[in-house]
Amino acid sequence: MEKVGFGLIGCGIWGDVHARTLSQSANSQLIGVCDLNRDKAIQFAEKYNVPFFYDNVNSILNNKDIKAISIATPDFTHTDLICAALEVGKHVITEKPMATTLEDCYRVIKLRDEKGVKLMVNYSNRWKTPFIHVKKLITSGELGDLLMVNIKLNDTVFVPTKMLSWASKSNSLHFLGTHLVDLIRWISGSEINRVYSVSRSNLLKGMGIDTPDFFQSILELKTGGTVYMENCWVIAESAPSVYEFKAEFIGSKTTVKVDISHHRMIEKYSPNGTAMLDVGEQYDLEDNPQGQVSIQHFIDCLINNQNPLVTAEDGLEATKVIAALEKSAQIKQPIEL
């Protein structure tokens, strides 16, 4: 079977994840890597035995052997890169968010449809085993009606001050909250129809980084459930992990607690009692062994001419919610979607 030729734009932390998957997969070949920092591109090319490296986006897009592009660049750069790749007929997998405005989301979708190519937003939490387990509890009815969700994805202050040079051009909603919005939509099977958010800008602004410290948000689901969502960039660096990722799903029959940041055990409280579930084994929704990550899923979709699990429309819906949360925090009022 012929391998899909890939090009990677962005040779940073997540670019390394993309490069590793694309170079090791049986169905893909990483042909070229691109970064504005030429030295980074050279390092990636050497590390993954990639034949071409570029410091210019047009050059990698002009490579005829590259049929698909992986984008792993800063949040605010995604849309223009996606559109440039789509314009020349490349399939695209991009890190989140697909875009930071609704106008840009519609621009991406229109171009994807015109060119007849595939696009996936890499909301990788849909492939995390604990959340797959929660999804199954909901779809099987074991959880009952989803009444409440408490979910947080936070970073230590290391991320905006030392890891990201571009934190002032984004915020913890676009960087972290968008993951949770997509996860909530997918797990619940419901859209979000009303939001309210509160933010403060003190600590980071005082350090010369013009972005909010945190957002605390309430999201209302069309099915009637409610979500409390927390995203911050100001946890002390002495925390045991650079990120904190915890969730609690309270149903009319069963309650499930998940802690992604420290272990992959699930606590389940049901009418049958309390259970601690070891979800280290990877499996999919049909109980098949699941060793593949989201990037491999996209490769398989290209090989088999299938639509990816996460589409540009999902990217649009996530951005729609994030934009509403930003506006709500600004005007200090709830927003109807």
Q: Which fold has domain 4-124+296-310?
A: Rossmann fold (3.40.50)
The pTM assigned to this predicted structure is: 0.94
CATH 3.40.50.720 boundaries in the chain: 4-124+296-310
CATH 3.30.360.10 boundaries in the chain: 126-288+318-336
Of the options 3.20.20.70, 3.30.360.10, 1.10.10.10, 1.25.40.10, the CATH number for the domain spanning 126-288+318-336: 3.30.360.10
Using one digit for the tens of pLDDT, what is the confidence trace for 305-316?
999 999 999 999
CB-based burial, 122-135: b 16+ in 10 Å, e otherwise: bbbbbbbbbbbbbb
DSSP-assigned letters across all residues of 290-322: ----HHHHHHHHHHHT---SS-HHHHHHHHHHH
Helix, coil or strand: residue 177 = helix
What's the order of all strands across the beta sheet hosting 335-336?
273-278, 265-270, 255-259, 243-251, 146-155, 226-232, 214-221, 192-200, 335-336
Residue 289's pLDDT band, with cuts at 50, 70 and 90, is: very low
Residue 260's pLDDT band, with cuts at 50, 70 and 90, is: confident
Radius of gyration (Cα) for the chain, nearest Å?
20
pLDDT of 277: 75
DSSP-assigned letters across all residues of 248-294: EEEESS-EEEEETTT--EEEEEETTEEEEEE--S-B-TTS-B----H
Residue 45's pLDDT band, with cuts at 50, 70 and 90, is: very high
- Mean predicted lDDT score pLDDT of the chain: 93
Mean pLDDT of 93-122: 97
Residue 148's CB: how many other CB atoms inside 10 A? Answer: 13
Query: What does the CA dihedral 6, 127, 166, 325 come to, rounded to 10 degrees?
Result: 130
pLDDT of 264: 64
Hey, which bits of the chain come out as E strands?
4-9, 28-34, 52-54, 68-71, 91-94, 119-121, 146-155, 192-200, 214-221, 226-232, 243-251, 255-259, 265-270, 273-278, 335-336
Q: Residue 274 is encoded by which pair of tokens? A: 């309390």
pLDDT of 292: 58
Using one digit for the tens of pLDDT, what is the confidence trace for 133-178?
999 999 999 999 999 999 999 999 999 999 999 999 999 999 999 9
Using one digit for the tens of pLDDT, what is the confidence trace for 46-83?
999 999 999 999 999 999 999 999 999 999 999 999 99
Q: In this model, does residue 291 exceed pLDDT 50?
A: no
Cα 88 from chain centre: 25
